[in-house]
Structure 1
Amino acid sequence: MTAEQLRALYRQQLLIEAVVEPSLDSEGWVVECRHTSGGLMALTNAEGIEQCFTDIDQATLNALEIGFQQVRIAD
């Protein structure tokens, strides 16, 4: 989901956690948000491709911009 879509879900209180973790597909970091139903939703671009950040700080900043006050770092 795009950042805008995730922000809308966050405002509706449907997301409970943001997680930054290493990408399984490439070098870098991805952002995933845990939905209240338990599923994970990845931050993607407009084409639906998972966004991968080379820098953990940039990934964390993108998670915070969704609306979260804190972000869990998984390694």
Structure 2
Amino acid sequence: MTAEQLRALYHQKLLVEVMVEPSLDSEGWVVECRHTGGGIMALTDAEGIEQCFADIDQATLNALQIGFDQVRIAD
């Protein structure tokens, strides 16, 4: 889901957590949100491709822009 879509879900109180974790597919970090229904939603670009950030700070900044006050870092 795009950042805008995730922000909308956050404002609807449908997301409970945001996480930054190492990418399984490439070197870098990805942002994922946990939905109230239990699913995980990855931050993607407009074409649905998961965004991978070169460093943890960049990924954390993008995670915070969804609306959360804190980000869980998984390593």
When normalised by structure 2's length, the TM-score is 0.99
4+ aligned runs moved over 2 Å, structure 1: none
- Note the alpha carbon deviations across 1:19-62, whole angstroms, 9 max, x for none: 00000000000000000011100000000000000010000000
C-alpha separation in 2, matches of 1:44 and 1:59 = 12
2:45 match:
45
Identical-residue share of aligned pairs (%): 85
> Please, which runs of 5 or more residues in structure 1 have no aligned partner?
none
1:60 aligns to 2:52 (yes or no): no
Aligned residues: 75
> Please, which runs of 5 or more residues in structure 2 have no aligned partner?
none
When normalised by structure 1's length, the TM-score is 0.99
